[in-house]
A = this chain, B = another copy of it.
Amino acid sequence: MINIGIIGVGLVGSELYSQILKSSYKNILRVVALSSSEKMLLSDSEYKPLVVNLSKDIRSHVIQQGVPVNIDDFANYLVNSKQHSVIIDCTASENIAQLYPSWLRSGLSVVTPNKKGFAGSINLFREIRELAVNTNKEIKNTNVPLVYHETTVGAGLPILSTLADLIKTGDDIIRIEGIFSGCLSYVFNTFCSLTNNTTQTFSEVVNCAKELGYTEPDPRDDLNGMDAAHNIMPQDLQSLPTSEEFMRKLPEYDDYFSKLRKEALDDNQVLRYIGIVDFKGGASGVQLIKYPASHPFASLKGGDNIIRFTTKRFPNGITIQGDGGGAAVTAYGIFTDLIKIQERVNKF
């Protein structure tokens, strides 16, 4: 059995709790602590699983029944249990990620969809990697603490686990390329398709993406990367003070994008905005690329993520594609990480 504390009971944290309780793991993965940003709810001294009515809002339950949050108390409660314990950070908080090293030192494992510990400060990333048994290069005769963060890339898709397998078994990674932004995937799949010839302008598609929830609350968080990459998003759009002004000014650039689209379609190709890590040629970066219909990236739908690993053993690549965001698939990915820990820690 494993004791579990979930920090963050928003969409993903609540969905995870619900998935565990509806599964055959409900007596093995025991949720004994829940925390919102204001209140926390800890079980008793026997670490009995918390009982929350799944038909009700879990956050409200925590706020009504809980006490004011003290993250140290939350972690210590888990440390003091006889069973191995895991903290699941379902926030997007930099401050919470900074606590991982202290949790790991006290023997807690960590599972999280929060990117801040892995794509922020390089020192924090290195510290986490050295403390976790499964990411440390030296062999340690212990099986805890462990860190899994599959959902920080492509949510529930088996991307990081596949990359880890390729590296552990000594394969030689030649190139990693893919579309990892659900927003930019949706925008270009909709704006430029060989089978669904839309006349929508770029700004109209971005507006749709915003309404459908594909963008961050401020769409500049998604689109600004396009500027950093190749100056396809003009700099002066970035310097606008508010999200509203950005969206208002975006139509001025519609002609520019319509021209790019026409050039691609006239060539029987589509535009896709992809990231590349090129281990051999050094051509890494993010790029707006034209693909023919026969390329897997051309047939992408909706806001799907796609990744391709090209390696010595897989010269044609392993391609993994699917929904890379949303509460259900993110919670699923966290759940698979939890099962990995349970299998390594328990004797069954």
Contacts and interface: CB of A to CB of B under 8 A. Distances in A.
Contacts of A299: 293-296, 298-299
Chain A interface size band reads 35 or more
A133 interface: yes
Nearest to A346: B143
Interface string A274-311: 00000000000000000011111011011010000000
Given A139-B348, A168-B339, A170-B24, A321 B292 contact: no
B170 A347 contact: no
B293 A293 contact: yes
A239 interface: no
A165 B295 contact: no
A302 B329 contact: no
Contact of A348 (B133, B156, B336, B347): B133
A156 B170 CA distance: 14
Interface in A98-157: 133-134, 139-143, 156-157
Interface of A: 19, 22-25, 28, 133-134, 139-143, 156-158, 161-162, 165-166, 168-171, 193-196, 292-296, 298-299, 301-302, 304, 312-323, 328-329, 332, 335-336, 339, 343-344, 346-348
